[in-house]
């Protein structure tokens, strides 16, 4: 019988603008928290997976970022695997670490994600996003995006000066509006909901509460998206110490959180009517965890823009096709509702330091399952789902990670 990996400790920094802090400084803050919470000295760690995505382009630290960070705590000799997988970087590091523990290769491992995207030279973070697609075949992306006058006009701007992924998400939002009848106000209500959730999270990048009217009145980024509907760039880090059940029992880990399933997959060239990679992998994750969507108590999902939250309600099977707006309006996904979503504030409020985002989701869900989320606590949280996607190829995410956790 498979022995599920155990999360023994987690750590996180506040996400946001940290021009005065380096990549290692941020990573070590999160790692130190996770190790302390797990109750093990750092020299007990047998292997580590270190995720970073944009920081190599922004900071110049390439190839050995994980080793650079851990050496500052005197940790060497062990395998350190550097991971990069677009916005799913940290969740991929987590999945790989969990898999090796579940397979019995290691008893105590570390997964962490770290990111630096803010820089005085704005061309550096812009280059990160410009590279999260197929750069050798840019015409494929233009073919996907051209379909309305607003985007066609934006093509006159240099490619590296466009908000490329906001254009991609705007196209997805327009398609979803046509298919479901969703409105721009529905998207604004998602932003407003998550602004309230984020106001309760001390680690969130933005903590002010917005109304739907304020969201609608904000500057347009790419129609129909306004600024508060779009996730910001950010710096930050998150980490988790993962153990075998045997070792967690020996060490007397308090409030262990079980990893029921953790899956990473790549997008594919789906034929007409075929399910998205998100739908496909969610079904696999539920089956591996032996759960149904009705068993889930809270969700952290990849709302790189607010419309994506409604799209993913449906893709994850949390509601039926076309039911996303009604599901939101029912209050089900708000704190106090049947299935609170993005209690952290989501990417649009907590922030989106892409190399750390996935483990930021894990941190929030571990807090919820342990009953330590304070004023944003979900009552009787026992099973939680994280969905994290990244990059874009064809007409779908390039990478998707899905995790199911249980107390």
- Report the C-alpha gap between 167 and 197 in whole angstroms: 26
Q: What local confidence, expressed as pLDDT, does residue 2 receive?
A: 63
Q: What local confidence, expressed as pLDDT, does residue 1 receive?
A: 46
Domains 6-119+234-260 and 134-230+261-406 share a fold: yes
Please write the tens of the pLDDT for every residue from 140-190.
777 667 655 455 555 555 544 557 888 899 999 999 999 999 999 999 999
Query: Which tokens is 36 given?
Result: 């302390």
Q: Which CATH architecture has domain 6-119+234-260?
A: 3-Layer(aba) Sandwich (3.40)
Helix (H) or strand (E) holding 127: helix 123-130
Of 1, 3, 2, 25, residue with least CA distance to 14: 25
Helix (H) or strand (E) holding 286: helix 277-289
State the helix-helix crossing angle for 184-199 and 306-315, rounded to 10 degrees: 100
Sheet holding 6-12, edge to edge: 80-83, 47-51, 108-115, 236-243, 6-12, 257-266, 396-406, 383-393, 298-300
Which region, left, alpha or beta, applies to residue 31 given φ > 0 means left and ψ of -120 to 50 means alpha?
Answer: alpha
DSSP E strands, 349-395: 383-393
Task: For domain 134-230+261-406, give the fold.
Answer: Peroxisomal Thiolase; Chain A, domain 1 (3.40.47)
Query: Which tokens is 384 given?
Result: 């939680």
Residue whose entry in the numeric block shows the structure tokens 């029921």: 260
Gyration radius of the chain's alpha carbons: 20
Task: Decide: 254 and 42 in contact? Cβ < 8 Å.
Answer: no
Q: Which residues contact 46 (CB under 8 A, 6 or more apart)?
A: 78, 106, 107, 108, 109
Please write the tens of the pLDDT for every residue from 342-361.
999 999 999 999 999 999 99
- Report the C-alpha gap between 251 and 254 in whole angstroms: 9
DSSP 295-349: G--EEE---SBHHHHHHHHHHTTSS-TT-HHHHHHTTTTSTTSSS-B-TT-HHHH
Q: pTM score, two decimals?
A: 0.95
Q: Which residues contact 158 (CB under 8 A, 6 or more apart)?
A: none
The lowest-confidence range among 149-163, 188-202, 212-226, 283-297 is 149-163
**What is the arithmetic mean of pLDDT over 94-98?**
98
Domain locations in the chain as residue ranges? 6-119+234-260, 134-230+261-406
Q: What local confidence, expressed as pLDDT, does residue 148 receive?
A: 53
Active site residue ranges? 87
């Amino acid at each position: 019988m498979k022995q599920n990996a155990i999360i023994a400790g987690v750590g996180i920094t506040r996400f946001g603008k940290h021009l005065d802090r380096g990549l290692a400084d941020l990573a070590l803050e999160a790692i130190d928290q996770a190790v302390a919470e797990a109750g093990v000295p750092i020299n007990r760690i047998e292997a580590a997976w270190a995720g970073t995505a944009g920081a190599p382009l922004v900071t110049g630290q390439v190839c050995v970022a994980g080793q650079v960070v851990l050496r500052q705590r005197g940790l060497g000799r062990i395998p350190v695997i550097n991971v990069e997988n677009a916005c799913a970087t940290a969740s991929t590091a987590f999945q790989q670490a969990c898999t090796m523990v579940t397979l019995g290769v290691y008893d105590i491992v570390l997964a962490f994600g770290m990111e630096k995207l803010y820089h005085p030279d704005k061309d550096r973070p812009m280059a990160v996003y410009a590279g999260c697609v197929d750069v050798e075949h840019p015409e494929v992306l233009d073919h996907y995006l051209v379909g309305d006058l607003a985007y066609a006009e934006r093509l006159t701007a240099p490619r590296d000066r466009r908000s490329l992924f906001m254009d991609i998400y705007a196209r997805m939002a327009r398609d979803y509006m046509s298919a479901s009848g969703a409105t721009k106000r529905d998207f604004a209500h998602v932003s407003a909901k998550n602004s309230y959730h984020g106001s309760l999270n001390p680690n969130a990048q933005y903590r002010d509460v917005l109304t739907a009217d304020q969201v609608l009145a904000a500057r347009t980024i790419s129609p129909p998206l306004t600024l508060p509907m779009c996730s910001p760039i950010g710096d930050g880090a998150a980490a988790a110490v993962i153990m075998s059940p045997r070792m967690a029992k020996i060490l007397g880990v308090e409030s262990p959180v079980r990893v029921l399933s953790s899956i990473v997959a790549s997008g594919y060239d789906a034929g007409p009517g075929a399910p998205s990679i998100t739908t496909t992998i969610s079904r696999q994750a539920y089956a591996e965890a032996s759960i149904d969507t009705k068993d889930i108590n809270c969700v952290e999902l990849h709302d790189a823009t607010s419309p994506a939250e409604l799209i993913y309600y449906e893709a994850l099977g949390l509601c039926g096709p076309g039911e996303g707006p009604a599901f939101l309006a029912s209050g089900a996904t708000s704190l106090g509702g049947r299935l609170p979503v993005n209690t952290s504030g989501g990417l649009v409020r907590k922030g989106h330091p892409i190399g750390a985002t996935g483990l930021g989701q894990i941190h929030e869900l571990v807090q919820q399952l342990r009953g330590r989320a304070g004023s944003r606590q979900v009552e009787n949280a026992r099973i939680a789902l994280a969905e994290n996607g990244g990059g874009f190829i064809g007409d779908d995410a390039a990478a998707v990670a899905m995790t199911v956790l249980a107390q």
